[in-house]
Amino acid sequence: MASLQYRTRGTQFCPIIVRTRGHRLEGIWHSGSPMGMIINSLRGFYVCVPRNMVQAAGMYNTLLRAHEPGIVIESLNGYRLKERMPENIGEFTVPMGQVEVLQEGTDITIVSYGSTLRIIEEAMQTLSGLGVSCELIDVQTLLPFDTSHSILESLKKTNRILFVDEDVPGGGTAYMFQQVMEQQGGYRWLDVAPRTLAAQAHRPAYGSDGDYFSKPNVEDVVKVVMEMIRSSEPATI
């Protein structure tokens, strides 16, 4: 399905939508987020990673009008959230390859997707109290990825960048890192080495404590951001 258009010189299409779920949930059999594997094995698919169900609905609306196949990876713990349903729930669309800036900031750009965004938003409350202004970006889709180079524009402003997700080290965060640093030339605008924050390189341990220590948590995000700020401005913070 992923290679059908390529193999037929664009004469055949397979506009299938794969609906699945993943990301933040507890337990060895209900956790894990192998985004790096999906990205590299499904070139030719749209890979959508919504942070909530309203955003997922907009992605489905977009895919229903497309010729290309797509996969939507819904957030398991997003099913527990209450959201306001838009009046145009069956009509509005989320564009593929366009990021969304969830909060503007001046000190550091944090790039993520899916359930991890809620962890980062909680960490940003602590960071704000420490005098750090974070710009938070939801990539929305990993394939295609930030076609307008909006992340680069954010980096030009903050000069620091952190990529966060709950895939294994070298997975989804490494992919986003390569796209921004190499493809978009983001390295030209850095005041401090860019960082990635991913899950541990093992199956998530059981229970709430296992989830906390196996995947990025609020304290991890605060720690890494503060290390980056102090590295570039040791005299100010």
Question: How high is the pLDDT of residue 33?
Answer: 81
Using a pLDDT cut of 90, give the percent of the chain over it. 78
Tokens 């750090």 sit on residue: 132
CA separation for the pair 118, 51 (Å, rounded): 8
Kindly report the pTM of this predicted structure. 0.93
- Alpha-carbon gap, residue 83 to 210, rounded angstroms: 28
Query: Which is more confident, 144 or 211?
Result: 144
**Interior/surface letters 69-90, b for 16+ CB within 10 angstroms, e for the rest:** bbbbbbbbebeeeeeeeeeeee
Q: What is the pLDDT of residues 18-49, one digit of tens each?
A: 999 887 666 666 667 889 999 999 999 999 99
Residues 130-152 have a mean pLDDT of 97
Average pLDDT over residues 50-57: 95
Note the pLDDT tens digit of each residue in 217-237.
999 999 999 999 998 776 555
Q: Which residues of 38-51 are buried (b: 16+ CB within 10 A; e: fewer)?
A: bbeebeebbbbbbb
Is residue 17 a contact partner of residue 74, using CB atoms and an 8 Å limit? no
Instruction: Give the tens place of pLDDT for each residue, 60-104.
Output: 999 999 989 999 999 988 888 899 999 999 999 999 999 999 999
pLDDT at site 237:
56
CA 119 to chain centre: 12
pLDDT at 234: 63
* 170 CB neighbour count, 10 Å cutoff: 13
